[in-house]
Amino acid sequence: MFQKLTKRNQKGFTLIELMIVIAIIGILAAIAIPNFISYRRRSYNSAANSDIKNAYTSAQAYFADSPTGSVSGTAILAAYGFRQTVNVTVTPSGTQSTLQIVTAHGSGNRTYTADSEGAITNN
């Protein structure tokens, strides 16, 4: 009767082999997850950097039409082609000679500032 329950040439994985595979997957996940988070944060920062460049270009287009005008919000920039990225805050203010634009992504870790000359600094 016992011989009927155990068949010869049974195929499958042992418990040790399965535990080794799970350990390897755990090690790979421990390496991959922090890198993935870092890549996402960099992409969020790139979105904020891209938005500040586009906002500056739109502001310059506005000042070309209205040299004595001032920018106090993104509505004016939107009229000149600026499209704000989701979760990126854009705060433009000033005239052509005192322009200052600040951008930051809600999930990023950097804030970008552009001055009236177009120089972009990050914090």
Give the pLDDT confidence score for residue 6 in this predicted structure. 59
Give φ, ψ of 5 to 5 degrees: -75, -30
Does 28 fall in a domain?
yes
Does 4 fall in a domain?
no
User: Range of 98's domain?
Assistant: 13-122
CA-nearest of 68, 69, 109, 106 to 90 is 106
Number of neighbouring beta carbons within 10 Å of residue 115: 14
The answer, yes or no, to whether residue 5 has pLDDT greater than 60, is no
Tell me how many domains the chain contains. 1
Does 49 fall in a domain?
yes
pLDDT in tens, 11-69: 888 999 999 999 999 999 999 999 999 999 999 999 999 999 999 999 999 999 999 99
Does 2 fall in a domain?
no
Does 81 fall in a domain?
yes
pTM: 0.78
